[in-house]
Each structure stands twice: as C-alpha cells, then as structure tokens.
A and B are shown apart, each in its own frame.
Chain A
C-alpha cells in the first residue's frame, strides 16, 4: 500500500476532456508543470466518443487523439486517470487537491494493454461506450484509442473466475487493489469538468427507455462511428435499417417543464451533422428534424445548415409534444404543424432525441467555487475575462461554464491557460516582493 503522497505542480487541470487537455498543453508549452485529473479510465472526454464533428465533418478521433497523445507525452504534464477529486481548497497561496484513485484491479505499472485478459474473460456486459447496443467484457480496455491503454475490472459484473489472472503475461491482475489517496499541491487550477446529457426522466411523454426505437443523440453517434456496435445504422428493436428517422430538437433544452430553460447550443448542429451522415449511410432514408429555431450561429454553420436543406433533409418547425409507440416498432411523433394542418401524428422508424447539456460536476462540498442559477460554474467577468470564476486563481474552460461547441471550447481552454499563466506570474512576483 502506498502512503499518502503529495505532488507539487504549478497548475492543476480538473477534467481530461478536450478543454482540459488543450488548457494543459497550453500551460505546459509555457514550461509550467501541470497535473490533469480525470475521473474516467481514459482521457478524451465526450469528444473522443463522437463519430464526426461539424462543420468540417472531420472524424472526431482524428482531432482528439493527437491532442490526447500530445498531452500524454508532454514532459510537463502528468495524467491521473480514474481519479476522483474529493476536495480542492485554498491554503494561503497554495491550492490543495485531495484525490482518490479508484482501483482498476489491474496494476498500472505492470499492465501492457495486450488485452489477453479481455479476450479470456467469459462475462459479457452491456457496453455504455457503445450506446448499450453491444457488449464488452468484465475486464476491458475502455475503447480502442483510450489513453492510457490499461485494463480495468468491472467489479459489479466480475465473477472472480480467475481467467484474467491466469492469462495475464505480466501478473498485473490484482483483485485486492485498494483505492489510493494522494494530494496535489498547485498554485492555480482550471476546472474543465465538462457536461453530461440532460436526463429525460422528467419528460415521460418522449418515451425514452420505454419505446426501444427512441434513442438519444450520443447513441446515434455510436451507430454512426467507424467502430460502432454494428458498423452500420440499425434500429435497436429489430435490427431493421430505418427508412424514416425523426430528430426531436430541444429535448431537454429550452424546456421549463424539465427545469432547463437555457439553449444547449450544440444540438441543432449535431442533429444536422448526424442527418447528413445518415443520408450518406442510408441514402434512401427520409430524415425529418423537428425544431423550434435552428441555431447555426458559428463559423460555417449556417452554410452547413443550408447544405443539409439542399440535400433534402426536412426541417419541420414544431416542438414535439409526445412520442408514442406505433405498430411494428415504429414511433409516432405528435406535433402541431404550422402549415395549418394542426395537431399531426407522423410515423417514423426511429426517433432520436437531441438531448441537451447539464453540468458534469457539482462543486458543492468539494470546492468553494460558485455555480450559477443554471448550475454551471459561475463566471464573474463573462465579457472581458470569460474564464474567471469567483475564486482567485481558479479558472474554468469549456462546457463546465455552460454549453459550448468544440471550437468555442478549445479557444476558451487557451484563454483559461492564458489567465492561469498570468496568475502564476503574478503570485511569483508577490513572493519575490
């Protein structure tokens, strides 16, 4: 057992998604020592889970993996994955973060990522990384381009049969591994804690979880991804290639009935992007996007939207009221048509809910930084210094401070690194004086 260790760095980055990685790289390039703490077993955040990204239609991996590799190999960056931030508090000029590294039940110094344990494991578990459309093993590497390439045992499903231990060539399996507590002392911190999808539990009329052919947009990302569950787009209930797909916009945004009144900023564009990708993989399918306002505001976004219209993707101005199960696995979308038809029921083979963003982390009880009324981290100078929080020396970037697309997130991460480096210079001056 390792005793409590303390690591001293200049900057702590909380979150190893695209915002955290970019901020870490921009600080490390200025010769500051940076620690990145990620709660997941791999860095890469939400972006590495996407298929392609708008408006360039670059594959998401092509953009994310090099940044992941750059951070992982940077001499000034130390990555801590599968770690929970227990507390982050200020003591004088220092910030102290207490971290718990969760047990992987695999010795990370011994594991070489050969996957023999994974091949040997007899247990199949529904794979969240693949939208729960396919299975993984109870010991597994999170996904093919994960960093680090370390196996992890899912104790909830492991039967302790011992197969992985037998096949592991480096004796890395350790069923008795315990959590490790350690702390990081830093001068400044950047909160890049990201987002989660809105839950649709408060919106039973959309049928999510009850109607098998109602899926969310991240599940569709997996269906469209190059190494997705089926390598093609099939609907979950019966494996049929859908001929008619509905997108329900603002499912979990701009909806006071769900307690989320804000716009999630990316759903219009990702729905349009998915619709375009779908018209590539299912050229005969009809795709309808039910929307309130199309918010294609970024660079090249409006042109992207107009291209989608020209490709024949149908845009129907309506807030979908309800989704019901139809016959033979179809879904019925109920809405008020604005062409005078009134309340209309439309039949589709598959419905995709364009879910919005909610904060990925709640600072309550962990760090005395404030959240705003939308529960995202509060920024105190949103105009001239958008990455400042209400705590001195703690900055924020990306979707931690409100919904944001990838382009805006990456730029903001650079800005947060700028503020953090200025703060480091400032306190260094204070010490010298």
Chain B
C-alpha cells in the first residue's frame, strides 16, 4: 500500500472513516471519490468507507485499525457530531485508545443535505481534509472528573413533577420539589374524570402528592420559584425565592377558599393538594443540586375575544369550564343545568387554539400560531360528551371536528361510545370553520352554529344550541425566565426542545437537566408520567454514579509564556474559571493566570485577548485551527 511509506514520515497516523449513511450522504456525495482523494492527503494512513459507520461492523473497523496500530488518530466523516461523536469516542475507548484523539467531520447536515453534485463531493473533501489536519495535531486528553451533589431538584409540582420526585426519592436520592403555587397537582387539578378510564383527577393527584409530602427524602417548597442558576452537571446552584401567594394569581380561576383553614395534604377541588403552610414573608435560599428535572407543564389556551363567540356570548365556554360545571352541578336530571339554565343542545368545537394554519388562523399578539395538535382534547371532549349523554340524556350533543384523534389505548372505544350515545358528528375543514351567531329565528336557543359538513357532501348545516364548548388546547407555561437563565432551547412550538426525540428524548443539551411531562409537548397523564419516570431514571444513573466526567476542552495556560497581564481574567465569561495567582518563577514572586477547569466553558475568550499567546483551549488549539485553515485553502485539496 502506498500509504505505508507516507506514514513513516508522519508521526501521527490518521485514519479517516467515511459514512454512506444509507443513502443520506452517498446519494449526493461521491463517497468513494472522497475516500480516494483523502487517502492521498499527507498524514492519512488509511481511509475507509462503510454503509453505516455507527453500526457495529463500522465501529469494529475503527477499533481493528487502532488495535493493530495502523492508525492512532481517528476522523469520522458522517452526520452532525451531536448525534454520534460520543458513539465513536466510546468505540475508541473500547479499543484501548484515548477518546480525545478523535475529530468529527459533518458531511451530512453540512454537505449532503444542503448541496448536490460535484460541489457536494468537493465540500465533503474539504471538511474531511480539515478534520484530518486537525486530527494529526490532537493530543490525548484526560476528562475532568468532578463529584456529583447527591440531590435532585424537580421544578414543577404537577403530575409529572410528583412522579419524578417519587421515583428519584425511592431510589435513595434527596429531592427538592419547587412549586410556584400553594398546591400540588398542576393542570390536572382543573379536571375531573380523566379519559378514557374515568379515573378521578383527585385520586390520581392524591395518590402521588400524599406520598411526596410524607416522603422522608423529599422537601417540598410551595410558593417558590427559581431565581438564580449557576454551575454545571453534578454541581448546580439554584437560587430559590419563596413568597406569600399573590391573590392576583388566583383571580379568574374561581378559587373561593381560605387557605388558613386547609390542612397539608388536603385535596381542594379545582386547586390541587394543599402543600402546607404558605410563607408569610419572602425568603431566599440556595440549593446545591446534582441534577434538575424540569416539569413546568402547560397552561390552557385562552381563546381571543370573538373566537367562536368567546367573550361575546356568555353561552360560549371552554372545555375546562364545562368539566367544572359537570363536576359541581351534575344532578342527574334529564337536562344538563348550568347556573340554573337548562341546556338542551350543546355544540363542542374541536381544535380551538391547536392545529392553527398560517393564512387561516390569526397569530396571537406575540406573532405565534399553535400549529401543533394538543393531543388530549379529542378524547377529553368525547369523554365530556359521553358523560352528558349518559347522565342528562335529554341534552343533545354536536361535535364539530376536523379529525377525531382517539389514538390511545381505550380511546377509540370512547368514540364508539359517543356514536352509540347519539352524539352527532359534523366535520369541518380548517378554512371553513363553524360560525357562532346569535339565533334570530327562535328564543328557545340563544345561539346558532353554522358549518359546512364534509361528512354529508359539504352540506351547510345550522344547529341551534344553548351552549358552545370550545376544546381549547395546551400551551407551554410561560417560563422565559428559566429558559433565559439556563439558556434552554425552545422549539418553534414554544415547548422545550429535547436533544433528539429518539436518541435522547428526555435530555436537554445542558447536561444534567432533564425534561418531564408537558413542558416538552402536549401529553396525557400517562404519557406525562412516562416522561417523568424516563427523566428520573436518567437523573438516578447520573447521581448514583457519584461523579461526572466533563470534556477537557478547557483553557490551559503556558506558564513559560504567561506574563500575568490579567487580560484573560478580565475577558473570562465564567465566574471563577480564571484567576491570577502568585507563584515563584526564577526566585521571583510573580502573578500568573490559573484555570479552574470545572468552571471553564472552553469559549476561548481568553485566547483571543492574551498578548503573549500563552492560552490555548485544549482540543481546539490555535495550531489545530491553523492546520485546518491551511488544509481548507490548500490547492491540493481544491484540485
């Protein structure tokens, strides 16, 4: 092999492994051409290809070459490093080599998915040669090992937060639960009988909340919010503020109760489980925690003034209003009665504030549309319809829907039951939504719902009703302070964005912070609890290991060059990462910069300002960058 003569001259032997990614890369990049040309790059000992580098045979190929000493530096050219950098690092470790002799070239997201033809192949080669040039200059590094604080903090006391807290505590971990209101149970507290099992919300919440309140390893702080955040995985510091409840926060929620009469653990209908005495004055304190589970939940969508007559006609209410009426006033008479008013005919309108389409639905005041499906409203609406039909058979129910999404176990049965119960279904297209108007034909029914029914070949129907129920969807709770503090990614739908929906569905890019429940996306109770338990299991693994290994991509000072100017300390963005210390050099006391690796972000701000070029970020040194740039502009590669 011709490459063998080359490797004798070069100290480092770079192995380049190029992935087809099925056809994801090879459909647009001539992978074999990249391999042929890469093999000719000085310093590259071997270049190989595989259908899926991340598969076992692909990883084995790298490990074989390392074990045989054919290569001692590795470049994989494949997808984004966020997906598989760790996969390949751990393969290198398994082969007995240092995992930091690895460099990743992204030729999928940055090449094959955005370029086509020869240009794609050329760019792939440029990226691969830059990565190879850097790889030849990589040094083995040791990860920074730090102890983990054996405590987890759960933010949010809804059903997901409760589930996560119990799971963590049952595994022997000290848990702090932070809830902004005086009550546990979250949005589930505002419901009654949960579809499709008709479990009582009160029972579901109580079964978890009572255990949380009595668990020796769980501390609950109600009326508390997170005000400060610092630290890193395993060692977070959270500033918590407890405040007396603000009566304004409960206005409009029809909460007429006196908290001084309540007992801790008592279930208050349509409020939740009272978490214990509320603070009488503001308190602030700091919690050290190893992991954080975010369970900040959702709020119900509020229809805008005039949306399906909401706010214009008093007979137009939301589904949660109806659920409360049903729970508090259901007398089992022939007709449903609300505030003394007999209801003979109810229209239920699906997808209010969900599945909004640009150009059809108006944006909200901040310019957003809820384009997503809220997942639970179809079943909840059908459940309410069935309860009405079964307990007040004289009341007729009309469902105006776009698609019935009874996807879950036991949910399709609800749909069947509703049909059996005589609920009338009218299907509308998004661009021809039902219109609610005052009924001028008769005094008996105050409102008229007009719609074009797809199911009867587009027939125009007019349904006189005395109640319109809007199946309002979910919106993420407003947690912009937390998002800004921790710098969390948020999707276009405004829910928190996981690292990857399948690879790491409950993790955030900030390591040590996990997602539980509906802060991630609309979910029903079971799904939220699964999400919470899934988040808890990750936090348990992290905390019970006792330590974390942080990537050693941190600043390092060359003491020979440092003259103690302090420019780096001033430029440093992370408190405590850089400082000047006194030391003796050649018998003289001098000031020199020193790095505290665990706090260093590896941002390189210090590198840019050092007048002596005495700082470098390990794994990303100036020399490595120079080599990459040289490779990119090299004529050999371009030709």
Contacts and interface: CB of A to CB of B under 8 A. Distances in A.
A383 interface: yes
B54 A66 contact: yes
Contact of B541 (A26, A62, A261): A26
Interface centre among A30, A149, A412, A418 (most CB of B within 10 A): A418
B506 A414 contact: yes
Contact of B159 (A73, A261, A384): A384
A62 B529 CA distance: 28
Given A66-B54, A225-B22, A262-B412, A384 B525 contact: yes
Interface in A402-425: 402-403, 406-408, 410-415, 417-419, 421-422, 425
A338 interface: yes
A261 B416 contact: yes
B371 A306 contact: yes
A425 to B, nearest CB: 6
Interface string B205-246: 001100000000000000000000000000000000000000
Contacts of A293: 403-405
Given A295-B403, A299-B495, A26 B412 contact: no
B537 A415 contact: yes
A412 B530 contact: yes
A31 interface: yes
B537 A425 contact: no
A267 B525 CA distance: 23
B405 A69 contact: no
A226 B20 contact: yes
Interface stretch (B166-174, B391-399, B566-574, B609-617): B166-174
A149 B57 contact: yes
Interface string B46-58: 0000011011111
Contact of B371 (A262, A303, A387): A303
Interface stretch (A51-59, A129-137, A162-170, A343-351): A51-59
Interface string A372-415: 10101000001111110000000000000111001110111111
A270 B107 CA distance: 27
Nearest to B404: A293
A147 to B, nearest CB: 5
Contacts of A295: 403, 405, 407
B537 A226 contact: no
B455 interface: yes
Given A62-B52, A408-B527, A226 B22 contact: yes
Interface in B26-81: 51-52, 54-59, 79
A296 B541 CA distance: 33
A383 B167 contact: no
B458 A26 contact: no
B530 A415 contact: yes
Interface stretch (B252-260, B308-316, B497-505): B497-505
Interface residues of A, number: 78
A305 to B, nearest CB: 9
B534 A415 contact: yes
Interface in A84-122: 113
B214 to A, nearest CB: 16
A147 B58 CA distance: 12
Interface string A140-155: 0000110101000000
A301 interface: yes
B100 to A, nearest CB: 19
B457 interface: yes
A300 interface: yes
A383 B525 contact: yes
A303 B79 CA distance: 24
B328 interface: no
Given A296-B373, A402-B409, A384 B204 contact: yes
A384 B163 contact: yes
A265 B407 contact: yes
Contacts of A317: 427, 454
A65 B525 contact: no
B502 A407 contact: yes
Interface in B357-387: 357, 371-373, 375
Contacts of A376: 409
B294 to A, nearest CB: 15
B502 A418 contact: no
A384 B55 contact: no
A61 B51 CA distance: 10
21 contacts: A30-B537, A30-B540, A62-B24, A65-B58, A67-B503, A69-B59, A299-B493, A302-B372, A303-B372, A340-B457, A340-B458, A382-B409, A383-B194, A383-B204, A384-B529, A414-B530, A415-B530, A418-B536, A421-B171, A422-B167, A425-B172
The 6 closest A-B pairs by CB, nearest first: A226-B22, A414-B534, A415-B533, A299-B521, A145-B55, A293-B403
